[in-house]
């Protein structure tokens, strides 16, 4: 077996704690043992009997003051959005009317506190790259004087030839990579926040991505989760063709536990079944509910490290230099913890609770009238869309955020099924899209 000691020494020198080191060591051990972490189709059943939001929240729609006092809202905020040409936190992108994701999140928390009278706790899981800009952006806002930051960890890249820590003298930052959002659990432990929250009487955590403005603390879901006594719950929603590559919910034959399967864990021969949205009908929104005492007990039972499936990614040490040495990057998904708990639950939520931004096409759609800002600061699909988001496709020249300005005014997508844009396209004010429409190299006026 390859020696883990050099990795431990490198991580300790970087100031990383035992929780992060232990989680990485587990992944490294699986990698060197030849464990691929794949989930073949034959080992799974579809998870198609998922209770609906409407069914479980019936008569549970009012805020429960006790539950609110026992809850923390935690937003994952570690992403830079480099795929869209950003060198700052994605949450600092403008969404609507000059407001950023972070502005709207702060507004959501402030509105919730004002309307309920409960000082609901709030945390951001920042990365080393997003911390400074995020904390600066919070100044002058409703969360300015609160301690709201929990830093995520980083892990070494593994030289694929020698199975030792990768080195890259030209830029030592390339020797490290994010550990995936499964790092939530080591970060909670290593930062001391898990123990701090428990001491303060916090029992429940609602976790979601900062780029998903539809993911707000919901009274019905909070009451249901608290009443259920479950250790863990995942919000899922119906897969569409646009979601067929996203992680889906399934039931494992061997123990009948709910599991999350990501595309990287799917054998190549099973990809057709993975992408069959009629077979695997639900995907993970990354809106999660955690029972913190149960999480603490599970971590203690596992020696401080949840046994999450490890995703093994083959990359090059410098992602922009394809001739640089090959490396392994290990990551975990926080939703995969659903398989770590007896009695974990899933609930089908409306599509309005899932409006993430991964590409400029997502952002273009979000800026349109197909999505609306609500009084509580959340942003979700317009009710007339009936949970069906418009499908926007942009050609490669619009990959970066700045290029969206070249498109001119954002057209109305309230009645659009799909919009495909390629080449130099400019929308004049007042354009309304209906049905399936494509434009290529043209100026689009309201009359068209």
Residue 302: other Cβ atoms inside 10 A: 13
- What CATH number does the domain containing 369 carry? 2.160.10.10
Whether residue 214 has pLDDT greater than 90: no
pLDDT at residue 80, rounded to an integer: 80
Residue ranges of E strands in 105-243:
121-126, 149-151, 155-156, 158-159, 176-177, 204-209, 232-238
Whether residue 448 has pLDDT greater than 70: no
pLDDT at residue 91, rounded to an integer: 93
Burial class (CB in 10 A: 0-12, 13-18, 19+), 110: middle
* Tokens 């001491």 belong to residue: 199
Domain boundary residue, one of 319, 353, 387? 353
In sequence order, the β-bridge partners of residue 312 are 330
Are 303 and 326 in a shared domain?
yes
pLDDT at residue 158, rounded to an integer: 98
Are 169 and 68 in a shared domain?
yes
**What is the token pair recorded at 442?**
């043209």
User: Average pLDDT in the 18-29 region?
Assistant: 96
Whether residue 1 has pLDDT greater than 60: no
Question: Which of 87-91, 190-194, 295-299 has the weakest average pLDDT?
Answer: 87-91
Q: Residue 415 in 3-state DSSP?
A: strand
Whether residue 260 has pLDDT greater than 70: yes
**What is the token pair recorded at 310?**
């490890």
Q: Using the 8-state DSSP alphabet, how is residue 341 labeled?
A: S
pTM here? 0.92
Q: How confident is the model at residue 9 (pLDDT cuts 50, 70, 90)?
A: very high
Are 364 and 337 in a shared domain?
no
Are 245 and 199 in a shared domain?
yes
Q: Residue 120 in 3-state DSSP?
A: coil
Domains identified in the chain, total number: 2
- pLDDT by residue (tens digit) across 106-153? 999 999 999 999 999 999 999 988 999 999 999 999 999 999 999 999
Domain boundary residue, one of 320, 353, 386? 353
Q: Residue 2 in 3-state DSSP?
A: coil
Are 331 and 364 in a shared domain?
no
Domain boundary residue, one of 353, 385, 409? 353
Burial class (CB in 10 A: 0-12, 13-18, 19+), 406: exposed
**What is the token pair recorded at 180?**
């995936």
- pLDDT by residue (tens digit) across 320-371? 899 999 999 999 999 999 999 999 999 999 988 888 888 899 999 999 999 9
Q: Which range of residues forms the domain containing residue 100?
A: 5-353
- The residues, any chain, with a CB within 8 Å of residue 12's CB and separated by 6 or more, are 21
Distance CA 87, CA 203 (A): 36
- The residues, any chain, with a CB within 8 Å of residue 283's CB and separated by 6 or more, are 236, 237, 239, 243, 246, 247, 248, 249
Are 307 and 388 in a shared domain?
no
Are 279 and 304 in a shared domain?
yes
Sequence-separated contacts (24+) of 145-148 with Cβ below 8 Å: 146/122, 148/122, 148/123, 148/124
Q: How confident is the model at residue 6 (pLDDT cuts 50, 70, 90)?
A: very high
Are 223 and 282 in a shared domain?
yes
Question: Which of 14-23, 78-87, 353-362, 400-409 has the weakest average pLDDT?
Answer: 78-87
Whether residue 394 has pLDDT greater than 90: yes
- List Cα–Cα distances, 132 to 88, 89, 303, in angstroms: 9, 9, 33
Are 335 and 312 in a shared domain?
yes
- What CATH number does the domain containing 89 carry? 3.90.550.10
């Amino acid at each position: 077996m390859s020696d883990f000691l050099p990795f431990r020494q490198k991580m300790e020198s970087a100031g990383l704690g035992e929780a992060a080191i232990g989680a990485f060591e587990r992944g490294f051990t699986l990698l060197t043992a030849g464990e691929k972490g794949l989930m073949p189709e034959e080992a799974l059943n579809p998870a198609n009997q998922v209770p609906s939001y409407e069914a479980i929240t019936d008569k549970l729609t009012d805020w429960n003051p006790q539950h609110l006092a026992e809850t923390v809202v935690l937003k994952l905020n570690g992403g830079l959005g480099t795929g869209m040409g950003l060198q700052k936190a994605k949450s600092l992108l403008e969404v609507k009317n000059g407001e950023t994701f972070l502005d709207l999140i702060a507004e959501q928390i402030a509105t919730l506190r004002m309307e309920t009278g409960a000082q609901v706790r709030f945390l951001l899981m920042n990365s080393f790259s997003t911390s400074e800009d995020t904390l600066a952006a919070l100044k002058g806002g409703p969360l300015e004087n609160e301690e709201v930051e929990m830093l995520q960890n980083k892990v070494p890249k593994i030289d694929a030839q020698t199975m030792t820590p990768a080195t890259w003298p030209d830029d030592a930052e390339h020797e490290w990579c994010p550990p995936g959002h499964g790092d939530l659990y080591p970060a909670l432990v290593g930062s001391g926040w898990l123990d701090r929250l428990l001491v303060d009487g916090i029992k429940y955590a609602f976790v979601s991505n900062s780029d998903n403005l539809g993911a707000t603390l919901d009274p019905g879901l909070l009451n249901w989760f608290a009443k259920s006594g479950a250790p863990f719950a995942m919000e899922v929603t119906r897969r569409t063709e646009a979601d067929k590559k996203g992680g889906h919910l399934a039931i494992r034959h061997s123990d009948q536990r709910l599991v999350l399967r990501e595309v990287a864990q799917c054998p190549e021969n099973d990809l057709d079944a993975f992408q069959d949205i009629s077979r695997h009908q639900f995907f993970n929104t990354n809106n999660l509910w955690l029972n913190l005492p149960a999480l603490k007990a599970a971590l203690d039972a596992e020696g401080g490290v949840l046994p999450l499936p490890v995703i093994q990614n083959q990359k090059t040490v410098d992602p922009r230099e394809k001739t640089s040495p090959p490396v392994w990057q290990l990551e975990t998904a926080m939703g995969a913890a659903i398989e770590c708990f007896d009695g974990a639950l899933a609930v089908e939520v409306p599509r309005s609770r899932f409006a993430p931004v991964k590409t400029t096409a997502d952002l273009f759609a979000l800026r349109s009238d197909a999505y609306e800002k609500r009084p509580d600061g959340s942003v979700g699909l317009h009710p007339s869309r009936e949970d069906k988001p418009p499908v926007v496709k942009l050609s490669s020249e619009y990959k970066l955020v700045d290029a969206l300005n070249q498109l001119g005014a954002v057209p109305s997508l309230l009645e659009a099924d799909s919009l495909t844009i390629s080449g130099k396209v400019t929308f004049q004010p007042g354009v309304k899209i209906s049905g399936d429409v494509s434009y290529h190299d043209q100026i689009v006026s309201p009359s068209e």
